[in-house]
Structure 1
Amino acid sequence: MHVAHLSLHDFRSYPTLELPLEPGVTAFVGRNGQGKTNLVEAIDYLSRLASHRVASDAPLVRHGADQAVVRAAVVRDGRTATLEVEINPGKANRARVNRAQLPRAREIVGLVRTVVFAPDDLALVKGDPTDRRAFLDDLLVLRTPRLAGVRSDYDRILRQRNTLLKTAGAARRGSSSQEGALSTLEVWNSHLVTVGAELLAARLQLAHDLRPYVAKAYAAVARGAGRDDADLVYRSSFDTPEPADGRPTPTAAELTEPFLARLEERLKDELVRGHSLVGPHRDELLLSLASAETRLPVKGYASHGESWSYALALRLASYDLLRDDGDDPILVLDDVFAELDSGRRDQLAELVAGAEQVLVTAAVAEDVPKALAGARFRVADGEVRDDA
């Protein structure tokens, strides 16, 4: 899979742009603030309907414009499809495939797959559990696009349930308003458990599938590391049952009863705090490294170099997992080499050089390792010029 042509209209700093691309390595070189990251961000947005830089769509639209359009010709198995997203902040976005509008914009998710390495990846290791949950969910959706709807539904149900908890918690105990809110809460508990169990089951399966890839990737990027050094474990906010029938992880149906039971146990605490304390939004992905005869959490114990190696391993593992699923994702290396020492820089370059398409951004040409020689564009003053 690769992008053969990128078109932008009022996206970030570009009023308009037409950019032909080829398989292999393409580097965008330019000083900070010139727009090179905007190019790879646009391609990643087509993949996930989300940016790896900002949480909302508004910054993606050029100042003074009402909407932005990202369009790309994507080649997969020798066939070309044109994917397009119309970004409308504050309104519903629209998506098209070969000019035919999709019923929902999220149906375009996963038609092109990207794996992005960026300086902020260190947050996957050192940041809050929110960062690691987002990492899992983004990868989930790329593997199984329909889960974008499940994740969206869960977030919507969670917001509604939290509103009811605040209403019931603030009402006088035993009053009709509290009883009414608690009665409605039972309905939303059922919705939360049904959708949350599906999301949790998918995350548990993904964590199981990802473990060997992370171990292998960490051994490849960390000096002197072995296959057993890096590990990850998914920790739920309630005790999950042992899987039946020889399966590696429990199904959504097997998770429903313990999920609901834990909700009932924590209801008093939830009423006091005014938000939901049980569910996938409270879970954690535990990352660890071997140390002597024990295992230690990466967060708080790993050195800066080990943390970077683990962050890189998570992205490499994502790439390898998606590739083994049947697609060679587009690799984006967004200004990441400036953050790495020369050893990790060269090691990462060698590991990804064989990908079908690698897009690199760098402030100076010298930051791009020799193993990633290929097409090069100079980005300056709002223009993208072939630097051949």
Structure 2
Amino acid sequence: MRVAHLTLGDFRNYGAAELPLSAGPNLIVGRNGQGKTNLVEAIAYFATLRSHRVTGDTALIRAGQQSAIVRMRVRSGDREVRLELQLNQGRANRAQVNGNSVRPREVTRWFSAVAFAPEDLIIVRGEPSGRRRFLDDALLARHPVAAGALADYDRVVRQRTSLLKSARSRGQSALATLPVWDDQLVEFGVQIMLARRELVRDLGGPLHDHYQELVGSDHAPTLRVVESVVEAIPQSDVSRETLSIESSANVSRETLAAQFREALALLRSREIDRGVTLVGPHRDDLALSLNGLPVKGYASHGESWSFALSLKLALAELLRAESTAGDPVIILDDVFAELDSMRRARLMSAVENYEQVIVTAAVESDVPNDVPWRRMRISAGKVQHDADAGIDVGVSEDRDNTEGATVRGSATPSQGPGSSPFEEDE
């Protein structure tokens, strides 16, 4: 899979921009603040429907405008699909696939990318919310249908929490509908928990291998989901320590649902007192370790960076193995500046065989020079192409055809149906 062309309208600092891209390694060079990261941010947005830099879409719309348009042509073999998103101020976003209106989350079925950025250090050094975000973005990449369960779960948590807060002022009568919200919390929460367990299980081996390749030594990196549901049940103290990742991923939906309900019952009075939903995937964490010690607080800056990069490389390998439409697009946003020369070479070696790699850099000497780059330069929001870029800069199709696109072959979603813990929504 690769991005053939990106078109921006009123996105970030771009009033209008056209970015043709080729297969293989693409290098976007520009001084800080010129807009190179905005380009790859727009590409990555199609994979997760959110920015890796900010919360919410408001900052993505150019100042003074009410909406932004992002169009992308994606190719897989001889097939091509055209994706379009309209990000709106104060109203729902809109989306199209090949000129047909769809729900925005449908576009994630057609495009897969793994982005590496300086912000990824938050995964290993930041708060649990950053690790939950990594897990959920990874679930969306692996199972695009997860978007429905994640959105429904978030809605239920908000509604249930609002109900718990109202009980403090209105009394127990306000809790008459709480069992209904409990049922939905368990239904969607169990889907997410099972999918996260499977993800963590399947990332373990590739994480170990990529860390060893990147660093040149075996520091035994491991990861484990820390679940608030399991933590809340006292009698699970022993099993929590002894249950393997493999076994936890194979727990039945019914067993996990029963545990979830038990945890809710145990914490019912505390939830009412505090007006907060205390258990569920929104309260979980991802425990990351090197040589048996937590990465956060014990690992050096270099080790932390290597862990974060290896985790993303593991995800890319997993998506590559499972996709029906080819490799995920690899995005390296200003990452090489954070690495020494050895890690730069090893990181490039790990991704160079992917169908498309898009790299941004402020200083061209930061990136390995033995790579056949297709170079583009960004200055004050303008895209300039090197004469030897070897890519087609014709943009008439994207610029003129706003309702439909020429589709070559029969485009298919990036991820096949496969085995998924998520129920397909209508």
- TM-score (ref. length: structure 2): 0.85
Partner of residue 234 from structure 1, selected from 225, 243, 247: 225
Residue identity opposite 1:30 in structure 2: G
Partner of 2:192: 199
Partner of 2:419: none
Partner of 2:207: 214
Deviation at 1:305, TM superposition (A): 1.2
Aligned partners of 1:254 and 1:198: how far apart in 2? Answer: 12
SS at match of 1:277: coil
Aligned pairs for 1:1-388 (under 5 A) are 1-102=1-102, 104-168=103-167, 170-171=168-169, 177-225=170-218, 229-239=220-230, 248-290=249-291, 295-326=292-323, 327-387=326-386, 388=388
Aligned partners of 2:228 and 2:280 also within 8 Å: yes
Residue identity opposite 1:345 in structure 2: R
Aligned partners of 1:338 and 1:252: how far apart in 2? Answer: 45
Aligned partners of 1:48 and 1:110 also within 8 Å: no
Could you say if the C-alpha distance between residues 17 and 153 of structure 1 is closer, same or farther in structure 2, counting changes exceeding 3 Å? same
Deviation at 1:248, TM superposition (A): 4.2
Aligned partners of 2:70 and 2:85 also within 8 Å: yes
Residue identity opposite 2:276 in structure 1: H
Aligned partners of 2:95 and 2:101 also within 8 Å: yes
Deviation at 1:179, TM superposition (A): 2.2
Aligned partners of 1:33 and 1:48: how far apart in 2? Answer: 24
CA offset digits 1:30-60 (Å, max 9, x no partner): 1111011111111111121111111110111
Aligned partners of 1:312 and 1:149: how far apart in 2? Answer: 28
Aligned partners of 2:370 and 2:363: how far apart in 1? Answer: 16
Aligned partners of 1:315 and 1:54: how far apart in 2? Answer: 19
Partner of 2:405: none
Aligned partners of 2:118 and 2:334 also within 8 Å: yes
Aligned partners of 1:363 and 1:238: how far apart in 2? Answer: 45
Deviation at 1:247, TM superposition (A): 8.5
Could you say if the C-alpha distance between residues 246 and 285 of structure 1 is closer, same or farther in structure 2, counting changes exceeding 3 Å? closer
Q: CA RMSD in A?
A: 1.7
Aligned partners of 2:38 and 2:312: how far apart in 1? Answer: 20
Partner of 2:400: none
Deviation at 1:370, TM superposition (A): 2.0
Deviation at 1:93, TM superposition (A): 0.8
Q: Which moved more, 1:346-355 or 1:314-323?
A: 346-355
Residue identity opposite 2:3 in structure 1: V
CA offset digits 1:114-170 (Å, max 9, x no partner): 1011011111101111111110110111111111010000000000111111111x2
SS at match of 1:190: helix
CA offset digits 1:333-380 (Å, max 9, x no partner): 000111112221111111111111111110011111124331001100
Aligned partners of 2:98 and 2:371: how far apart in 1? Answer: 32
Aligned partners of 1:178 and 1:187: how far apart in 2? Answer: 18
Deviation at 1:29, TM superposition (A): 0.5
Aligned partners of 1:140 and 1:330: how far apart in 2? Answer: 16
Aligned partners of 1:272 and 1:213: how far apart in 2? Answer: 44
Paired positions, count:
374
CA offset digits 1:66-95 (Å, max 9, x no partner): 111111110013201111111113211111
Aligned partners of 2:65 and 2:247: how far apart in 1? Answer: 55
Partner of 1:174: none
SS at match of 1:238: helix
Aligned partners of 1:56 and 1:289: how far apart in 2? Answer: 33
Residue identity opposite 1:230 in structure 2: P
Could you say if the C-alpha distance between residues 330 and 208 of structure 1 is closer, same or farther in structure 2, counting changes exceeding 3 Å? same
Aligned partners of 2:87 and 2:93 also within 8 Å: yes
Aligned partners of 1:51 and 1:258: how far apart in 2? Answer: 34
Aligned partners of 1:381 and 1:112: how far apart in 2? Answer: 29
Aligned partners of 1:116 and 1:321: how far apart in 2? Answer: 14
Deviation at 1:280, TM superposition (A): 0.6
Aligned partners of 1:252 and 1:95: how far apart in 2? Answer: 33
Q: Percent identity over the alignment?
A: 47
CA offset digits 1:296-334 (Å, max 9, x no partner): 111111111111110111110011010011230100000
- TM-score (ref. length: structure 1): 0.93
Aligned partners of 1:288 and 1:296 also within 8 Å: yes
Could you say if the C-alpha distance between residues 163 and 371 of structure 1 is closer, same or farther in structure 2, counting changes exceeding 3 Å? farther
Deviation at 1:220, TM superposition (A): 1.1
Aligned partners of 1:40 and 1:332 also within 8 Å: yes
Aligned partners of 2:284 and 2:82: how far apart in 1? Answer: 38
CA offset digits 1:198-221 (Å, max 9, x no partner): 111111111111111111111111
Q: Following TM superposition, where does structure 1 have runs of at least 4 consecutive aligned residues deviating by more than 3 angstroms?
A: 240-243, 245-248
SS at match of 2:163: helix
Aligned partners of 2:222 and 2:61: how far apart in 1? Answer: 40
Aligned partners of 2:315 and 2:247: how far apart in 1? Answer: 25
Which structure 1 residue ranges, 5 or more long, are not aligned?
A: 172-176
Aligned partners of 1:161 and 1:185 also within 8 Å: yes
Aligned partners of 2:250 and 2:285: how far apart in 1? Answer: 16
